[in-house]
Amino acid sequence: MKRFLTGLQPTGSITLGNYIGAIKQMVKYQEEYDSFIFIADMHSITVPQDPETLSKNIRSLVATYIACGVDPNKNTIFLQSENIYHANVSWILECNTPYGLLGRMTQFKDKSQKHQNFMAGLYTYPVLMAADILIYDSDYVPVGKDQKQHVELARDIAESFNKRYGKEFFKLPEPLIPEEGAKICDLIDPTKKMSKSAENKKGVIMLLDDEKDIRKKIMGATTDSEMIVRYDIETKPGISNLITIYHELSGMTISQIEEKFKDSNYGTFKKEVADLVVSVLKPIQDRYYELINSKELDEVLDAGKIKTTEIAKIKYEELKNIVGLYR
């Protein structure tokens, strides 16, 4: 059975973009793959975090995964920092990654501008991500478009490591990018991705937003003056973004949606988008609040820690031998 692995950072509330771009793929693929899903908590401290809030967000993310349909019986769910081998493997990979390659990462360029006096971890972040992926011999890595470059880097690191040491030691992973939903955009500025860290929260739907806020945000989404519900990402990014959201949550094709709303004005269309988003998020929220303080979360993470530590230990020992770290 092919293996897939993916993770999200526990930095603030999960957005509709994360749900459509990442979590929905997990739920889909859990049926056909041996799936490893984790909380990338070590990645999140590459920028400053309040410790107490971070800890709460970690728990919240596990509850979110499960509430969204990631089934603990079909997936290995774990916390990155509870498996010490990620950081160990990452170090060896750092020593096998050309410095210049990391400076080319788009996310580094963006984030290093946003954070004054940023830390070294922000620069080496993609190597830790490569370690996450390569330790488990992952075949596929489902991510949104913004993370594709990092998965490609993991593949490059694996390839050059294998070449350098003359062994097919690391499997070359492939990114799995969902077509339309690969990028859900901000409702106010639809040329930017919907992001947890956006300054203006009016453009961002959080999975735990209440119904009133969801409706308000969607009704306030930026549109255009054409007044036709038509998909055209270049000239109508706002309406195209709403069509994408509708498509992802209803399963209807873009042309079916255009046909359905051909006589509707933007107000009617937005109201239907809001109805759909509310109907999808309501059961997720109910399940989330049942789970958040339950023991079930700890049991799931304990099992994940034991299983992934066993697997990673074997890979790490082999890796140490290959590079000569033995006596």
Annotated active-site positions, please?
111, 193, 196
Per CB under 6 A, the list member of 66, 194, 280, 301 interacting with ligand TYM is: 194
Between 45 and 228, name the residue whose CB sits nearer to ligand TYM.
Answer: 45
Contact between 184 and ligand TYM by CB under 6 A: the answer reads: yes
Q: Which of 62, 105, 122, 129 touches ligand TYM (CB under 6 A)?
A: 129
DSSP 186: P
CB 7 within 8 A of CB 40: yes
C-alpha 43 chain-centroid distance: 12
302 token code pair: 């304990």
* 76 touching ligand TYM, by CB under 6 A: no
Q: How far is the CB of 264 from ligand TYM (least distance, A)?
A: 25
**Binding of ligand TYM at residue 177 (CB under 6 A)?**
no
- For residues 173 and 133, give the distance between their C-alpha atoms in angstroms, rounded to a whole number: 7
Choice from 133, 158, 281, 284 touching ligand TYM (CB under 6 A): 133
The answer to whether residue 40 forms part of the interface with ligand TYM (CB under 6 A) is: yes
CB 37 within 8 A of CB 198: no
**92 contact partners, CB below 8 Å, separation of at least 6:** 319, 320, 323, 325
The closest residue (CB) to ligand TYM is: 21
Helices (H), 20-105: 24-29, 41-44, 51-67, 85-94, 99-103
- Which residue, 12 or 72, is less far from ligand TYM as judged by CB? 12
Among 22, 158, 229, 301, binds ligand TYM (CB under 6 A): 22
Interface with ligand TYM includes 7 (CB under 6 A)? yes
**Residue 187 in the binding site for ligand TYM (CB under 6 A):** no
CB of 110 to ligand TYM, least distance (A): 12
Q: How far apart are CA 217 and CA 200, in angstroms?
A: 11
How many residues bind ligand TYM (CB under 6 A)? The answer is 25
Secondary structure of residue 195 in the 3-state scheme: coil
Q: Is 175 in the site for ligand TYM (CB under 6 A)?
A: no
CB 266 within 8 A of CB 227: yes
Three-class secondary structure of residue 302 per DSSP: helix
Tokens 């992973």 found at = 173
Question: Least CB distance from residue 18 to ligand TYM, whole Å?
Answer: 4
Instruction: For 10-24, give one letter per residue: b (16+ CB within 10 A) or e.
Output: bbbbbbbbbbbbbbb
Placement of tokens 């990673």 in the chain: 312
Does position 9 interact with ligand TYM (CB under 6 A)? The reply is yes
Does 24 participate in binding ligand TYM (rule CB under 6 A)? no
43 binds ligand TYM (CB under 6 A): yes
Decide whether 213 or 296 has the Cβ nearer to ligand TYM. Answer: 213
φ and ψ of 2, to 5 deg: -70, 150
Q: Which residues bind ligand TYM (CB under 6 A)?
A: 5-9, 17-18, 20-22, 40, 43, 129, 132-133, 141, 143-144, 146-147, 150, 183-184, 193-194
